[in-house]
Amino acid sequence: MPWSEIQDSSGSAAAIPGLLRKVARGDAETARAALGDLRKRICQYGFVVEQATAATVPFLWELAQWPQVSCRAQIIQLLKNIADARQWETTAAAYPKLLNHRENPVAWERAARQAVRARRDGLERLLAEGDSEIARATTELARTLGD
């Protein structure tokens, strides 16, 4: 699905591929800034996922595995935030009419969580690296996923 046809918190998700490239190839400062922007777009406030979140997750898992990426621990923390997100589900429990909307944020949340879970075979490799910051973030993510 083309990024311009799905939504992030700012509207069209068309900017996401460029932000992912900056995280992948930018120097530490550029990568961190791009990741901050990405976080606002796909997991605002650390718990509000968007339509584009699930589509972004496989790329985040990929970047978390690349040694040349400078902000890998922060990427893993973002994956944990996405896996923890229950904002829409909690709201829908109180306001079931939310589930009748054509745009179903509860489904986005579920899809995002499943996307994080689907790639969890990468956890072991990250834990084996010996970087304490990455190990700590990975351990927290594993705990969230129940692994």
**pLDDT tens-digit series, residues 33-63:** 999 999 999 999 988 999 999 999 999 999 9
Domain membership of residue 25 as a residue range: 7-146
Q: Looking at the domain assignment, is residue 2 inside a domain? A: no
* 68 band by pLDDT with thresholds 50, 70 and 90: very high
Which is nearest to 123 in space by CA: 70, 61, 42? 61
The per-residue pLDDT for 97 is 75
The per-residue pLDDT for 21 is 98
Q: Looking at the domain assignment, is residue 19 inside a domain? A: yes
Q: What is the mean pLDDT of residues 76-102?
A: 84
Give the C-alpha separation, 13 to 24, whole Å. 18
> Contact, 9 vs 41, CB < 8 A?
yes
Q: Looking at the domain assignment, is residue 1 inside a domain? A: no
The per-residue pLDDT for 93 is 82
The CA radius of gyration of the chain, in Å to the nearest whole number, is 15
Instruction: Evaluate if residue 143 carries a pLDDT over 80.
Output: yes
Total of domains in the chain = 1
The per-residue pLDDT for 94 is 83
Model pTM score:
0.92
Of residues 99 and 88, the one with the higher pLDDT is 88
